[in-house]
Amino acid sequence: MAAIELRNVRKAFGTVEVIGNVNLSIEDGAFVIFVGPSGSGKSTLLRLVAGLEDATAGQILIDGTDVTQLGPAERQLSMVFQSYALYPTKTVRQNMSFGLEVARLPKADIRTRVDAVADILKIGEYLDRKPRALSGGQRQRVAIGRAIVREPVAFLFDEPLSNLDAALRVEMRIEIAKLHQRLGATMIYVTHDQVEAMTLADRIVVLDRGSIQQVGTPMELYQRPANLFVAQFIGSPKMNVLAVRPDGSALVFADGRRADLGVSFPPRLAHVGFRPEEVQLLSIGQGHLQGKVEVVERLGSDTFAHVGLGELGIITARMPGNVLSISPGQPVGLGLSGNQLHQFSRDGSRLS
């Protein structure tokens, strides 16, 4: 298995810089997820690791060896593509064997390996079929199987589940998690789906506009987002953010409203954030801010209340279970906890 390290990696297409000076080290056996909105450079970063794109500057190391100049296969990585990229004219077996044939492994070895992997992924019965005769989920398994047979030092996944329907996506997500436990291999996984990121990753790398915003475990990102971007990207529904000015132990909101929270705030504070479960819905007149419930969403397990605060916009509150006592149009008070507030400066970075 392999540890992967990126040093000062840059990538530009012509004059457009898509990756700007990325430094990252990935531990051996880790499951790392690159997450970010479209255009954040997450796929490009993965393709740089794969060797499918040449870095404009910087170094990529696998187990301490500089592989920046090596081609994709020489880096001994396997990749699972978004479209699966199965060779349509080859059977499943031929698809899985192709890389080994290129590497000129003995025929018998190839057979054994393919059979063993097919067994793990339960695709043994499809080995003689062409990809077009398979369902989406089966194709996905074949794509993963093709990656596994090569016994790579690390696996790369480029949004592998985005072409599957919701139910199958959850199922394959669990499969991939099991596979990681079983193989113990380093895996780098790109997705725009933060639920996938939270559930699968040991560590998440959040990217935006070609640079790393934060690297950390899912819980670190959730609990201590390094900046406003991460705060609002991780978590669903999004974190509520309000622009504020500190005034001693009180906050002055954009529309002049004032709330005394009884804790002292740093002078550089410009935004406060709180997750939907970090705000309390109270009777009108109580708490720190007054508003009106505009929409109530009932999921059974949770109830979301979207509360209008006039000029300040709408904030979302989450309550466990089905809370029958709230309804649209109802005036409510909101209770915040001064200690739990995420505090951000004017430039969006976290103030601890």
Smallest gap from residue 71 Cβ to other proteins (A): 7
Smallest gap from residue 255 Cβ to other proteins (A): 44
136 by Cβ neighbours in 10 Å (0-12 / 13-18 / 19+) ranks as: middle
Which residue number, 72 or 308, has a Cβ lying nearer to other proteins? 72
Which residue number, 143 or 221, has a Cβ lying nearer to other proteins? 143
Residue whose pair of structure tokens reads 């139910």 in the numeric block: 167
Which residue number, 150 or 203, has a Cβ lying nearer to other proteins? 150
Instruction: For residues 188 and 203, give the distance between their C-alpha atoms in angstroms, rounded to a whole number.
Output: 10
Smallest gap from residue 151 Cβ to other proteins (A): 5
Residue whose pair of structure tokens reads 């490009």 in the numeric block: 44
Q: Which residues bind other proteins (CB under 8 A)?
A: 1, 47, 50-52, 71-74, 76-79, 81-83, 85-90, 98-99, 102-105, 146, 150-151, 153, 183, 185
Pair 274, 338: CB distance under 8 Å: no
Instruction: For residues 106 and 303, give the distance between their C-alpha atoms in angstroms, rounded to a whole number.
Output: 60
3-state secondary structure of 77: strand
Which residue number, 47 or 173, has a Cβ lying nearer to other proteins? 47
Smallest gap from residue 19 Cβ to other proteins (A): 17
Smallest gap from residue 81 Cβ to other proteins (A): 4
Please name which of 293, 299, 291 lies closest in space to residue 327, comparing C-alpha atoms. 293
282 by Cβ neighbours in 10 Å (0-12 / 13-18 / 19+) ranks as: middle
Which residue number, 177 or 183, has a Cβ lying nearer to other proteins? 183
